[in-house]
């Protein structure tokens, strides 16, 4: 089967024209079968308290999971004194043409930065049930402040991704009570362990020349591109035939400013057939990246 994958930092729906429009975000990546989104928000006044995850998934008619990096209070009392519960969230999302059988959210380490704007970060894991077999997909957004903030985050991601297949399923075995029992906690839900194949995608806030990128993809080698360990990933942009740099994924920077990446495990690297940065899309300050796979 042919799989079209995309990753897109949507800047909470704010386009290059200064307008909020979540629908055009979804339309920009409608050709993709699986999409990782970053900077997705729910319950903020600036866009009329929209649940952007639900809006995007609804317009695409896709399955989705959303994980918030932070969740803060947006509640109030109405004129009658009744509490109206509302949360303001910000995080990452995975949307898929096919069902997502299980999901987890990994909160990445945050170093406090007194007096400096910073955010809690996370990675959202989704096990997507492709017709060709299950695959793990991670949508992430790393810290923007400094390499010292990002390095603990990429260390956690690397460990998390390669440990996942050995941790078992969300539920390791059927409940001991009969499936038709009213006390069957699992209600007959089938779960399988995480597959080995994985895609890590998102806004890494670092270029291929960075130490953080090398920690994920291997150190530069004069003859072999990257000298990787067994627990490191492959950049789909490079295996598509591109140089590591020479393109920007954010419209305010020109040339070598590729900070959005799609990385895969070895088995998927051999199945990449193409990749492109959609610089014609203006719905966010970032451009979406598309990757084609022949599975």
With bands split at pLDDT 50, 70 and 90, how would you rate the model's confidence at 187? confident
pLDDT, mean of residues 132-142: 96
Q: Which residue has the higher pLDDT, 167 or 7?
A: 7
Looking at residue 182, what is its pLDDT?
65
Exposure of 243 in the CB half-sphere (CA atoms within 13 A) = 8
How many degrees, rounded to 5, is the angle at CA 78 between CA 74 and CA 81?
115
For the chain, what is the domain count? 1
Q: Cα(205)–Cα(143) distance, rounded to whole angstroms?
A: 7
Q: Which residue has the higher pLDDT, 206 or 256?
A: 206
Residue 203 has pLDDT above 80, yes or no: yes
Looking at residue 138, what is its pLDDT?
98
Q: Cα(68)–Cα(208) distance, rounded to whole angstroms?
A: 27
- The token duo for 19 is 């307008």
- The token duo for 132 is 């060709």
Tell me the average pLDDT of the chain: 92
Q: Which residue has the higher pLDDT, 221 or 257?
A: 257
CA distances for 19 relative to 23, 39, 280, 282, 284, angstroms: 12, 16, 17, 11, 10
Q: Is 140 helix (H, G, I), strand (E, B) or coil?
A: strand
Q: Cα(255)–Cα(248) distance, rounded to whole angstroms?
A: 5
The two beta strands, 133-141 and 121-130, are antiparallel
Residue 183 has pLDDT above 70, yes or no: no
- Domain containing 290 equals 2-174+188-294
Looking at residue 271, what is its pLDDT?
98
Q: Are 287 and 254 in contact (CB under 8 A)?
A: no
Q: Does 84 reside within a domain? A: yes
Q: Does 87 reside within a domain? A: yes
pLDDT digits (tens, 9 = 90+) for 244-275: 999 999 998 888 899 999 999 999 999 999 99
φ/ψ region of 11 (left if φ > 0, alpha if ψ in -120 to 50, else beta) reads left
* CATH number of the domain bearing residue 114: 3.60.10.10
pLDDT digits (tens, 9 = 90+) for 62-96: 999 999 988 999 999 999 999 999 999 999 999 99
Q: Are 291 and 274 in contact (CB under 8 A)?
A: yes
Q: Does 115 reside within a domain? A: yes
Q: Does 182 reside within a domain? A: no
With bands split at pLDDT 50, 70 and 90, how would you rate the model's confidence at 168? confident
Instruction: Answer yes or no: pTM beyond 0.85.
Output: yes
Q: Does 179 reside within a domain? A: no
Q: Does 29 reside within a domain? A: yes
pLDDT digits (tens, 9 = 90+) for 276-295: 999 999 999 999 999 999 99
Q: Does 15 reside within a domain? A: yes
């Amino acid at each position: 089967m042919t799989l079209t994958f995309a990753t897109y930092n949507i800047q909470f729906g704010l386009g290059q024209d200064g307008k909020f429009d979540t629908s055009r975000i979804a339309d920009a990546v409608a050709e993709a079968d699986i999409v990782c989104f970053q900077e997705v928000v729910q319950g903020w006044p600036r866009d009329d308290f929209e649940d952007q995850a639900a809006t995007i998934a609804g317009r695409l008619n896709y399955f989705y999971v959303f994980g918030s990096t932070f969740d803060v209070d947006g509640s109030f009392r109405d004129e009658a004194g009744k509490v109206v519960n509302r949360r303001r969230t910000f995080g990452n999302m995975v949307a898929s043409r096919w069902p997502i059988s299980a999901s987890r959210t990994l909160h990445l380490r945050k170093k406090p930065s007194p007096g400096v704007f910073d955010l809690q970060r996370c990675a959202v894991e989704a096990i997507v049930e492709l017709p060709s077999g299950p695959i793990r997909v991670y949508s992430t957004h790393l810290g923007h402040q400094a390499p010292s903030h990002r390095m603990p985050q990429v260390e956690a991601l690397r460990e998390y991704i390669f440990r996942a297949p050995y941790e078992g399923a969300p539920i390791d075995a059927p409940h001991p009570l009969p499936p038709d029992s009213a006390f069957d906690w699992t209600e007959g839900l089938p779960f399988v362990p995480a597959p080995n194949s994985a895609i890590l995608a998102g806004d890494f806030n670092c270029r291929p020349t960075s130490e953080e990128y090398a920690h994920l993809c291997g150190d530069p080698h004069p003859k072999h591109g990257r000298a990787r360990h067994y627990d490191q990933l492959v950049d789909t942009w490079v295996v598509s035939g591109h140089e590591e740099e020479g393109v920007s994924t954010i419209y305010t920077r020109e040339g070598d400013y590729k900070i959005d990446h799609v990385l895969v495990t070895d088995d998927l690297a051999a199945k990449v057939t193409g990749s492109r940065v959609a610089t014609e899309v203006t719905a966010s300050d970032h451009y979406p990246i598309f990757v084609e796979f022949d599975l």
